[in-house]
Structure 1
Amino acid sequence: MITGTRNPAPDGTQLATAWQTASLLLDYPDDGLLGRRPLLRRAAATLPAELGEPLGRFLDHVDATPLPELAADYVATFDHRKRCCLYLTYYACGDTRKRGVALLRFKHAYHRAGLVLGDDELPDHLAVVLEFAAADPTAGARLLNEHRAGLELLRLALAESRSPWAAVLDAVSATLPRLSGDIQDAVLRLAAEGPPEEEVGLAPYGASSGGPVFLPDPRPSRPPSRPDTQGAHR
């Protein structure tokens, strides 16, 4: 049975720090990640234990793992396992026409906040959403909670496979309200049935708004560049 966990009550600064740190740790691992490790450790140390400790455990794994191995594991985890997809609308919509509408909702939220993504960038990648949430906590938390069932399924799938990234999802989950019965039911349905499927008639993503013509694959091996929010990459 899926049960919620008691979350701490972090303040706004701590939430933003947790989301920004998790965002960077869920990006494709490269030399930039290695260079940010001291900064990320200092950030994790400022957080309540339920947030900071899992992030610290993942950083321990980064310290102990050669970068090529870490990158290969990232691809194997998030490219090759449907239940470990980092694109949030995939859980709720699968590859159906509804996914295009859901993606536009993310884009509109970013536009209202003054953030612009390129036409080749999918706005529902979890690293992108978390970075946006760090810059706009109210709108970002709303998006995360709307896709809580998918987030929880991702967390459980990573934990089941003993993935080191499970710790990062533990921290993200701890920033959100406790799971309700409805969300638990949705997670169980997703686990049993998988995302929706639609074999014909896929509506093109962005067709009504000047966006890309085709709905991209939901699981590319490396996420696109992310919106410039608080300058955390610099």
Structure 2
Amino acid sequence: MANALKIISVLLSYPSAELHEALGEIEAAIARDSRLDAGNKKRIAALVADLGRLDLYDAQERYVSLFDRTRTLSLHLFEHVHGESRDRGQAMVDLAQMYERQGFDIGPGEMPDFLPLFLEYLSTQSDEEVHELLGQTLHIVANLRTRLQKRGSIYANAMLALEAIAGIAPRQEALEQLLEEPDHDPDDLEALDAVWESEAVTFGGGTGDQNCGPDRLRMQVRAARRPPPQPGVERNS
């Protein structure tokens, strides 16, 4: 189970050159995992193969369009239940403290509720803890799976595997509430700016390549909109 959670964590992270180079090793690790049933091995292997077929730039562009530019597909767990409210901030503080108590360190700029980070943490825990914590978030995972399936996205396979690992059904009422939220058009940049108008809670103050989600997207959108420098005119960074 730990191996499967670690693999899914990596596959749900922003595609990098290192990830593409390691796809062969990941595929072999999936095949060796005795805790993952044949159906979910096939699903994860299909996601690995799909990533391998794509050019790295195309894989990154697809990832951003899905998970960074569509709020209802955000991989930040508390985004779906708390939005940008103060409750989300406190929930993330509590989650970060849980990580700290277990000796699990998070890097500068990483958000505690980022699903790949949460799965990496779970991969270090007992089966009992995995079932407990994954079960608490399963309605969010099922919400993501449903929306990804509607888009015909191969990433739905990762969510299906997580549901199988949890071994229980999501809370139906909570899932239905999440599914009531309408999807946003990822190509409507003005609407996107309005959605992310409130500053997200940050931890550690870092803004490196590991920073995922709305902060990275905001920087990308603002950079794209910034007028080009005029000859002979310097602009502060």
With structure 2 as the length reference, what TM-score do the two structures score?
0.73
Aligned length: 194
Equivalent position to 1:188, from 158, 176, 180: 176
Indicate if the aligned counterparts of 2:139 and 2:175 stay in contact, CA closer than 8 A.
yes
Pairwise CA distance, 1:33: 0.8
Larger radius of gyration: 2
Partner of residue 114, structure 1: 103
Partner of residue 83, structure 1: 72
Partner of residue 141, structure 2: 151
Give a deviation string over 1:172-203, Cα, whole Å, max 9, x none: 111112215xx111111111147xxxxxxx99
Provide the secondary structure at the position in 2 that maps to 1:111: helix
Give a deviation string over 1:69-106, Cα, whole Å, max 9, x none: 11100000001111110001111111111101211221
Indicate if the aligned counterparts of 2:16 and 2:56 stay in contact, CA closer than 8 A.
yes
Give a deviation string over 1:42-74, Cα, whole Å, max 9, x none: 121133113211100101101211111111000
* Structure 2 residue 54 is matched with structure 1 residue 52: no
**RMSD value, Cα:** 2.6
Give the residue type in structure 2 aligned to 1:85: S
Partner of residue 150, structure 2: 160
- Aligned CA distance change for structure 1 residues 59 and 205 (closer, same or farther; 3 Å): closer
- Aligned CA distance change for structure 1 residues 203 and 221 (closer, same or farther; 3 Å): closer
* 4+ aligned runs moved over 4 Å, structure 1: 202-206
Identity, % of aligned positions: 25
Provide the secondary structure at the position in 2 that maps to 1:124: coil
Matches within 5 A, 1:62-81: 62-81=51-70
With structure 1 as the length reference, what TM-score do the two structures score?
0.74
- Aligned CA distance change for structure 1 residues 129 and 164 (closer, same or farther; 3 Å): same
Indicate if the aligned counterparts of 1:106 and 1:123 stay in contact, CA closer than 8 A.
yes
* Greater relative CO, 1 or 2 (CA 8 Å, sep 6+): 1
Structure 1 unmatched runs, 5+: 1-14, 195-201, 223-234
Structure 2 unmatched runs, 5+: 183-197, 206-210, 218-237
Provide the secondary structure at the position in 1 that maps to 2:132: helix
Matches of 1:205 and 1:64, distance apart in 2: 36
The more displaced of 113-122 and 164-173 is: 113-122
- Aligned CA distance change for structure 1 residues 165 and 220 (closer, same or farther; 3 Å): farther
Provide the secondary structure at the position in 2 that maps to 1:175: helix
Indicate if the aligned counterparts of 1:87 and 1:219 stay in contact, CA closer than 8 A.
no
